[in-house]
Amino acid sequence: MSELGLVRPDMAAIVGQPYGVTVSYPVTASDIRRWAIAVYYPEAPPAHYLDPGAEAAGTLVAPLDISVFAWAAARTEPNAKAFEVDPKYKAVGAMEQNLGVQPPDLFRALNGGLVVDYTGVRIRPGDVIRSETVIARYQEKESRLGAMLVTDTATTWTNQDGERIKTATMSLIRY
């Protein structure tokens, strides 16, 4: 057991194991244009997003922050370890159940922040993106709200050629 008793041995054992493997539908030029228009509203996005010749010329690339899984995914790889938990765990973002482990009994949560690293490989029309997540790290902290568990989950996107596009890390604070 960890120092503050929040990280059980079975939780520590799932750090680094992949879960949530999801594959996108092929990205379309419209997906890219709509995302750019929405985030730049009410002004127009940079002209290259709207250039009708960009797709054919191979110069249309997606905004870095685009989500290609927002509305639907083409495929989610089955995970035999996953099991259903009470919705009160899901409500605070628990993910341990995806790796066959009971989440900790912590039912308040805060978003501890976002970190992303981009490789320079861009998303283009026709790309099929694969997403995979791991629990990167557990940390325990004492605060005025009591003992807190900080869980860093790292999600990596790769394209159909196996090129890494980005790794985004979210810190979930449960207490």
Partner 1 sequence: MTDVQTPAATAGEFEVGATVPPFVRQAGLHAWNRYAAVNYEFVDIHMDDEAGKAAGMPGAFGMGNLIWAWMHCAVEQWVGDRGLLEHLECRFKSPALKGDRITITGTVTGRTTADDGSTVLELDLWSENQTGAKTAPGTARVRLHPGV
Write phi, then psi, for 31 (nearest 5 degrees).
Answer: -55, -45
Give the nearest distance from C-beta 110 to partner 1 in angstroms: 9
What is the residue type of 80? A
Q: What is the biggest distance separating any 2 CA atoms in the chain, rounded to whole angstroms?
A: 59
Q: Which is nearer to partner 1, 57 or 80 (CB)?
A: 57
In the complex with partner 1, the residue whose CB is nearer, 71 or 162, is 71
CB of residue 107 to partner 1, shortest distance in Å: 16
- CB of 146 vs partner 1, minimal distance in Å: 19
Q: How far is the CB of 49 from partner 1 (least distance, A)?
A: 10
Amino acid at 108: R
**CA 129 – CA 123 distance, rounded (Å):** 8
Catalog residues that contact partner 1 under the rule CB under 8 A.
34-35, 37-42, 46-48, 51-54, 57, 59, 63-65, 67, 70-71, 111-118, 120
Measured from the CB atom, is 27 or 101 closer to partner 1?
A: 27
Task: Convert 82-117 to b/e letters by CB count within 10 Å (16 or more is b).
Answer: eeeeeeebeebbbbbbbbebebbebeebeebeeeee
Least separation, in Å, of the C-beta of 26 and partner 1? 17
- Which C-beta is closer to partner 1: that of 5 or that of 113? 113
Return the beta strands (E) in the chain as ranges.
18-23, 75-76, 109-118, 130-143, 146-158, 164-174
Nearer to partner 1, 117 or 142 (CB): 117
